[in-house]
Amino acid sequence: MTSPLKFQIKQASTKTSGAGESARCGTFALSQPASTVPDQQHVKRTIETPGCLMYSQKGAVPHLTPDNLRQQSFGGVNVSLEHILQTDQPGSFSKWPETSPISQFNGYKFTLSEYLRLQDLITFCDLRDYSFAADTFRHPTSPPAKKLASNTDHHTVLSTPKGIRQLTLDGYLKTVRHYRPDVVVAMADTIAETTTPNEKRVRKSVERSLKWLDQILLERNGQDGTIADRRVEEEKKRRRERKEKKRNAAAAAKAAGEQQEHEQKQEQDQVHGEYKKGEEIYIEPIPSEPWTDVGLFVTVGGAHLEESRVWSAQETAKKEGVDGFVIDTLSLSELDKDSRLKHVQTSLAHLPENKPKLLYGLHAPEDVLEAVAMGIDLFDTSYPFQLTEDGKASLYYYGPRPAGQDKSNSNTLRSINLWDDEHGDKFVPILEGCGCYACKDNKHTRAYINHLLKTHEMLATVLLMGHNMYQYSQFFTLVRESIQDGTLQENSVAFGATFGKEPIRTLEKHPNQVIVEAALQKRNQRLDGAEEGVVGVIGMGSAVPSLGAAVGAEDVEMEDGNKSNKKRHESDEAGEDGGSKDEVVEKKVKKAAESSSSPL
């Protein structure tokens, strides 16, 4: 089967020996990047590796509207299924309007890329949000990621916006068939209910994941991958039915009295006779719709047990049809960075060189350098996102100091926190010479962003995110160049010497943020009645000006305004749904049931 993905390694670094030997540059793309639908001019971008997929929440990259998003050079987006699986029917958006001209083209199926309007970006679909799994700068006492219930032989557990959901293999397959992302990660048993799994649990997870992988590979090729499961289900069903019949027969016999006993006994024998124990149940195989146009990445796990990691990698490497690997680190989050990297190395050693590997969590720049040196090709952009949430802006660079940056970064800081008072009167961009839309042409200054943070305005995170993403992509560009010209090792050493390590993330908000939020609360109390408004943003969010608090200055003032139009514009009121007059009654009834305001 020809792969829908193309990964070409450009040049493995041969100029340096020892550390960095495994680093390589490549291009990761679809075999068919151009859309085949008429009137659709989209061509999927290529990802240069080492490179990134963009981190998203609910299918959208945080803070970036589509136009601002496209200014970033990253070639793909990582979409977590657990963010977007909303209903029981995963294909809810297969109900695309029939009137659309596109839908009239040979039953064209709408894909996840269409729905999320990412037709020009590689859509990579994983089950869960692992981006913060193994942060090396997580505060040691910060609350662990939500611990879910354990996966079972039959399902994996997801944490969706509407609650915990169990995703069965059937559900997973149905989702993939409907969503048709460019790349999907195979459903696997990633251990989420504990960060210190025991040996038995680890072995079970590898075993389960491999079993599911076999089934997924069969299904992908159009064969019946779930026939064994269905046979088991059928057997269980028959056993249940038999028991039920026996019970009924016994009850009937008792009621009828002893004269019937003999007759009943005969009947029971008949029941037994229908199915002989040990006889195999025949299940009609269902030919399934193949999805060989979807790329498949597989997670190699094994937690912290070397043997399991080797086993997982070796067995997975044998399978045909796997386009790439995700190196699991979710279960390593309790370990120190070096141990984590050691386990990553273990997995890598048993995986084929010619396929791309993705790594979550080890995404601070210095961690990226170590992972790249081992041969990791893909990361995600949750690092710049985390910085943004904290009000920070990146200043680090890789390789020789870029020209024009001398003025603003003479301290060689890796980042600044725009909440700090010292930026309040600095009418310079975050980083002189930076080409992002925040810094370009000195359009937005540190003083302005400081002001935006202090006034709880959302533009702050829009500007910071744009900048941090841009800086991250610049970093990767320079890393790739270094691999090409053999300077990876020396530049990485220099980077470590200049910028050190990412500081551990604090648990507390910045003191200025605390002041601002306290003042906001006080003001609302003083003015007697402005509600907090709507729900805050889901996610790390410790510094994000939440939408709730973004009920800004003028909202308070408009309290009494325009009451005469209130009927038609009920939406004025904080926290209430608007809607036409017809909806009002319907809404009151539904309001109890609807959980539209409840956060994760």
Partner 1 sequence: MKSALKWDVIAKCGTTKARAAVLTLPHGPVNAPVFMPVGTQGTLKGITPDQIEGLGCQIMLNNTYHLGLRPGQELLDTCGGAHVFQGWNRNLLTDSGGFQMVSLLKLAEITEKGVQFESPHDGSLMLLTPEHSMSLQNSIGADIMMQLDDVVSSLTTGPRVEEAMWRSIRWLDRCIKAHKKPESQNLFAIIQGGLDPALRKQCIEEMVKRDTPGYAIGGLSGGEEKDKFWRVVSQCTDLMPREKPIYCMGVGYAEDLVVCVALGVDMFDCVFPTRTARFGNALTATGTLSLRQAKFKDDFRPIEEGCDCIACKSYTRAYLYTIVTKETVGCHLISIHNTAYQLRLMRQVRESIIEDRFPQFIHKFFKDLFVEKSAYPEWAVNALKSVNVDLIQGEEQL
The one-character DSSP state at 268 is H
Restricting to residues 185-204, name those near partner 1 by CB under 8 A: none
Instruction: Report the nearest approach of partner 1 to the CB of residue 157 (Å).
Output: 21
Please identify which residue in 57, 333, 347, 513 interacts with partner 1, judged by CB under 8 A.
Answer: 57
* Contact call for residue 58 and partner 1 (CB under 8 A): yes
Q: Taking contact as CB under 8 A, which single stretch among the options 16-24, 27-35, 74-82, 579-587 is the one that binds partner 1? A: 579-587
Please provide the DSSP assignment of 81-102 as one string: HHHH--SSSTTGGG---TTSGG
Please identify which residue in 97, 101, 140, 143 interacts with partner 1, judged by CB under 8 A.
Answer: 97
* Contact call for residue 575 and partner 1 (CB under 8 A): yes
- Quick one: tokens of 142? 């910060």
How many residues in the shown chain lie near partner 1 by CB under 8 A? 91
Contact call for residues 581 and 562 (beta carbons, < 8 A): no
Instruction: Report the nearest approach of partner 1 to the CB of residue 343 (Å).
Output: 34
467 is in an annotated binding site: yes
Residues in contact with 561: Cβ distance below 8 Å, sequence separation at least 6, in sequence order: none
d(CA 143, CA 406): 39
Question: In terms of Cα–Cα distance, which of 381, 382, 379, 312 is closest to 348?
Answer: 312
**306-318 vs 337-349: helix axis angle to the nearest 10?**
40
What distances in angstroms separate CA 333 from CA 136, 260, 556, one per listed residue? 8, 67, 44
Please identify which residue in 16, 68, 477, 484 interacts with partner 1, judged by CB under 8 A.
Answer: 68
Instruction: Report the nearest approach of partner 1 to the CB of residue 590 (Å).
Output: 7
Restricting to residues 396-455, name those near partner 1 by CB under 8 A: 424-425, 427, 437, 443-445, 447-448, 451-452, 454-455
Does the CA dihedral 332-334-335-341 come out positive or negative?
positive
Instruction: Report the nearest approach of partner 1 to the CB of residue 459 (Å).
Output: 4
Burial of 149 (0-12, 13-18, 19+ CB in 10 A): exposed
d(CA 410, CA 292): 53
Nearer to partner 1, 410 or 580 (CB): 580
Q: Are strands 415-417 and 183-185 parallel, antiparallel or unpaired?
A: unpaired
The owner of tokens 């916006």 is: 161
Please identify which residue in 64, 122, 430, 439 interacts with partner 1, judged by CB under 8 A.
Answer: 64
439 is in an annotated binding site: yes
d(CA 363, CA 46): 21
Please identify which residue in 307, 353, 563, 584 interacts with partner 1, judged by CB under 8 A.
Answer: 563
Q: Taking contact as CB under 8 A, which single stretch among the options 54-62, 314-322, 476-484, 493-501 is the one that binds partner 1? A: 54-62
Instruction: Report the nearest approach of partner 1 to the CB of residue 194 (Å).
Output: 29
Please provide the distance, in angstroms rounded to a whole number, between the alpha carbons at the two ends of the chain: 41
Instruction: Report the nearest approach of partner 1 to the CB of residue 269 (Å).
Output: 54
CA gyration radius, the chain: 28
Q: Are strands 392-394 and 415-417 parallel, antiparallel or unpaired?
A: antiparallel
Restricting to residues 108-137, name those near partner 1 by CB under 8 A: 115-117
Instruction: Report the nearest approach of partner 1 to the CB of residue 431 (Å).
Output: 16
Restricting to residues 493-552, name those near partner 1 by CB under 8 A: 519, 522-523, 526-528, 533-535, 537-538, 544, 547, 550-552
436 is in an annotated binding site: yes
Q: Taking contact as CB under 8 A, which single stretch among the options 199-207, 379-387, 456-464, 501-509 is the one that binds partner 1? A: 456-464
Binding residues for Zn(2+): 434, 436, 439, 467
